[in-house]
Amino acid sequence: MHPTFIYFCIYCSFWGLLQLYSCQAKPSDKSNIESDIKVDSIASYPVLLPTNDSVVYLKIDNSNAVLRVAPNTKAKILKSFEKNDSVTFENRISYSSDRIQIGGINYQQPWLLVSLPKQQKGWVYGAYIQGKASHHPLLKQGILDQRSIAYFGPLMTQQIALLQKEMLQVITLPGFRQMYSRALMIKDSLEYKINNSLRLSGKQKEMDFFWLNDLLEGIIVYYIDTKNQYFLNFDFNHWYQLSLKTLDYNDDLYCDLMRTVYASDSIEYWYPSWQLELNDTTLCSLMGTGIYQKVLDKIQECIDSNSYFQPEIMAVKNNLILEMSTAKHYWLSQTSVLEELDRILQKNYVFFNNYDLKAIKNHMQLLKDPQRYGLKLNYFDGFE
């Protein structure tokens, strides 16, 4: 059985217990939580994680870590740790998660029950532990799930768990489409919630959300300092591998198209493969290199047999036409640019409408007299 499916089952068990206990638990003290992100009220009863009777050793990652008698920041301190101190995981993780700032970054993590060599037991905050992934995958997943519940709520965490399950089981084109749509919803929702919290806080990178890279397969988290903004982007290599698991090839064609659109590393980015960023204000069209025709050929393959991804395919086509008809800066020479445009028109792509053809032909006329119309060509050789 695949480990991720096991994680999903365990998560569902956690949630069932949570619903049972939350009706009985006293309201927990949230005085240590100060954030613009809503933190759900979660009972503090510990969860038992299966360890297959193996001993799991963890190391302390910060000299400010302490051992407490209970899983909260007001509990009595039993011991202070040094960095790299070793503890034994006692197979329990708290339902509650507290927001604590470490090194200028706000973390939202549960507590782990650990023991010391002299059999002293207590709770240590999850963010102070290193080596979680390699020593105990279920522990890592439990921490990620609890952090997701605290930041985004149980319903979003459930959607993420369903996505993980779908990635394991997908074998049909409709199933792949449903999974892809769920991933789009999750990506857009998380990106909005994260950046909205940053805007409301008014602080620069108040919280670290790179942990989502471990929770979300096929989605990569980026942070741009100059924008003080997080971006969640698809890794289309991952999605292409998933598409190969189905019995249809339409999803393969679509994912292969997107790998061509983002050809450098197959990761969704602001600038597709037909543009070259020269600086913060100048984007160069790569018309003349053959990339436009290559993408259009891929679109033709998709259009011939694909209705499941029609909106996404046509969005790529429209972006391409917009660039072909409005670009003002070109990497290659006038001759190279016009030759590729001629080849494109000769292909007679079935998805070109009259507006598309007119826009391309009008821009070709401007390219024949670039100085008059303020077009700059051949940046590669220092302008024409």
Q: What is the topology classification, in CATH, of domain 3-150?
A: SH3 type barrels. (2.30.30)
**Are 220 and 232 spatial neighbours (Cβ–Cβ below 8 Å)?**
yes
Q: Which residues of the chain have pLDDT under 50?
A: 1-8, 10-11, 13-45, 133-134
254-286: pLDDT as tens digits: 999 999 999 989 999 888 999 999 888 889 999
What is residue 5's predicted lDDT score, i.e. its pLDDT?
47
SS (H, E, C) 87-145: EEEEEEEEEEEEEEEECCEEEEEEEEEEECCCCCEEEEEHHHEECHHHHCHHHHHHHHH
Backbone angles phi and psi of 355, in degrees to 5? -65, -45
Q: Which tens digit of pLDDT belongs to each residue from 132-175?
A: 544 567 777 877 887 888 788 889 999 999 999 999 999 999 99
pLDDT computed for residue 43 by the predictor? 35
Residues 6+ apart with CB under 8 A from 320: 274, 292, 295, 296, 299
Residue ranges covered by each domain of the chain: 3-150, 161-381
Instruction: Give residue 53's pLDDT.
Output: 57
Q: How far is residue 173 from each of residues 204, 231, 251, 311, measured CA to CA in Å?
A: 42, 28, 7, 16
Nearest to 337 by CA among 371, 297, 365, 373: 365
d(CA 206, CA 317): 38
Residue bearing tokens 């407490």:
68
Confidence (pLDDT) at 197: 83
Per-residue confidence (pLDDT) for residue 158, from 0 to 100: 93
Dist. CA 34–CA 74, nearest whole Å: 15
